[in-house]
Structure 1
Amino acid sequence: MGQIKMETTIDLSENAMYVVRDGQITKVSAKPFGSDEVVWKDGKVVDVVRTQRQRLNGQEVI
């Protein structure tokens, strides 16, 4: 039995990451600072771990 081909359209002018898993697309939006880690299990993305950096600029409290 063959695979069903599905297509979608994304906006290439927008900064983002897209994850496709089992035919469903998830957009991971850009953020001002930080990093995103993609966690794979058995060839599929299972998690996106997001961290945020806070720059020190002399503030008393973060």
Structure 2
Amino acid sequence: MADAAGKLESTAEIDLLENAVYRVKDGVLEKVDTPGDGFGKQTITWQNGKPQLYEISYTKK
């Protein structure tokens, strides 16, 4: 996000009391979706030093 002078902000605020996973790509903070019910897994794919995409999967017992 840019400030009034058009500079990108280099800090962000997150809630440390919330269980979550985040990714930062090109200066943008994004909360990764949580898996559905049961046991879950989040896989982040990197390319050229940047997180390109993520996959969410889960297993129900």
Q: TM-score, normalised by structure 1?
A: 0.72
1:15 aligned to which of 19, 37, 50: 19
In angstroms, what is the RMSD of aligned CA positions? 1.6
Gaps of 5+ in 2: 1-7
* Percent identity between the two aligned chains: 33
Gaps of 5+ in 1: 56-62
Higher RCO, Cα 8 Å, sep 6+: 2
Q: Which runs of 4+ in 1 moved over 3 A?
A: 29-32
* Bigger CA radius of gyration: 1
Q: TM-score, normalised by structure 2?
A: 0.73
Aligned residue in 1 for 2:51: 45
